[in-house]
Chain A
Amino acid sequence: MEVLDCLGKRCPLPVIELAKALNSKPIGSQIKLLSDDPASAPDLIAWARMTGNSVQEVDESTFEVTKLTD
């Protein structure tokens, strides 16, 4: 799985970089996002709900993201 390292980056950068990385990828693509920003966990869940994608929290700084919509 492709890894997107956003460790040390503050909100809203991890979510912006994730959206950019997924932009050109086909539906079904997966990305492992690394982020230690305290806003990332709640915001990735909200992002998935708002955009129709999927996020699994592996641990507090690792998130597996699956693109489900364009």
Chain B
Amino acid sequence: MLSITLNFQSEPRLHEAARIALPHIFEVSWPDPTKLGVDSKSAAILLNEARETLAGHLSVRSDEISFLGEPSLGFHLALSGLLSPGKRLIYSNIDRMEIFAIAENHPNLQLASSTSGEIDFKDCTNSDVVSLQLCNRETGIIQVGRPANCAELFVDATASGTRIGLPGNWSAALWDSTSWAGPGGLGVLAISKKAKWKNPLPHLDGRVNPGPTSLPLIVASALAIDSWVADEKNLAKKISAINSEIRTYITNKIPNSDLAPDGADHLLSASFLYVNAEQLVTMLADKGFAVDSGSACNATNMQPSHVLAALGILTQGNIRLTIHHATSFEDVKIFLEVLEQTVAELRA
């Protein structure tokens, strides 16, 4: 039997513009762009074009960006590079765990989010390195707080992608290529020319990361971002309407549900009282719907999501939905009926 899975998990399918070009990309981007020779020169041109395209969409200079084969390494590269001795790291309790790990090695201050997700940065001083998450990937909360004072500002743009611009005083910023339906396993790290950044990795030259990063992935990501940004303009209204539809349905039809506050239109988190998330995710998967969860019983470390707990949102029976460009109203209507039925079954 052919089973069709509707994808509400965070990973999007690779954008069609990149997918159809992949064989050609691999065909032409095998040479080392740093070497001499005709083929290498062509590869260098490809790399430069991709760099210009990505920098343009991310509103940074093309000589400020580096490509990372492991996007999460960017948290360490950026923050540890900005944290000169004596500097304090200021971060929040809804930041990513990678940032919690970096804080362990430095003087630090963890700020507590309000229940609406807002961080108050008033205690930041001109000798602090501040970590600012533009959008929370688990709940979609868009951060409205901005530090007025800081020595350096790191911006986690991994969940917001091109949707939210960088604040003017940014020092370093990190994006994940999957946020514009580019290939996985590719991060873009920007380090401002104005930032006092020192490479925390062993190094003998000016490169930010040892590399080499896959040229085919970089080229595919540039193709994806060009098309994705154009699609986003046309589809933003639909995504927003789908988000409202899901919120309204859950609020009206599923009792004892706890929705995370409004945020980015493409993300949504809902928790259901008296429901085991592992069973819910498994049953939805069996019925053809792939969703994520922040509940303890679905986590490898058996700990509930620190983000949900910090926001005071119920951590049990949690599902996390990502609304992709391809997600349709029809898909969502079927999904919501199945969700309502499944939650009722699990509570019975």
Contact = CB atoms under 8 A, between A and B. Distances in A.
Main secondary structure of the interface of B (DSSP, over half): loop
Given A11-B304, A51-B256, A42 B273 contact: no
Interface string B255-298: 01010000000000001011110000000000000000001110
Interface string A7-41: 00011100110010000000000000000011100
Nearest to A20: B274
Main secondary structure of the interface of A (DSSP, over half): helix
B103 to A, nearest CB: 20
A43 to B, nearest CB: 5
B317 A50 contact: no
A42 B274 contact: no
A49 B317 CA distance: 16
Nearest to B275: A12
B317 A46 contact: no
Contacts of A12: 273-276, 297, 316-317
A47 B295 contact: no
Contacts, number: 58
A39 B273 CA distance: 13
Contacts of A3: none
Size category of the B interface is 20 to 34
A10 B273 CA distance: 14
B303 A19 contact: no
Interface of B: 256, 258, 271, 273-276, 295-297, 302-304, 308-309, 312-317
22 contacts: A10-B296, A11-B276, A11-B295, A11-B316, A12-B297, A12-B316, A12-B317, A15-B273, A15-B274, A16-B274, A19-B274, A38-B304, A39-B315, A39-B316, A42-B314, A45-B312, A46-B313, A46-B314, A46-B315, A47-B314, A50-B314, A51-B256
Interface of A: 10-12, 15-16, 19, 37-39, 42-43, 45-47, 49-51
Given A46-B258, A50-B273, 11 more contacts: A10-B296, A11-B304, A11-B316, A12-B276, A38-B296, A39-B316, A42-B312, A42-B315, A46-B271, A46-B315, A47-B314
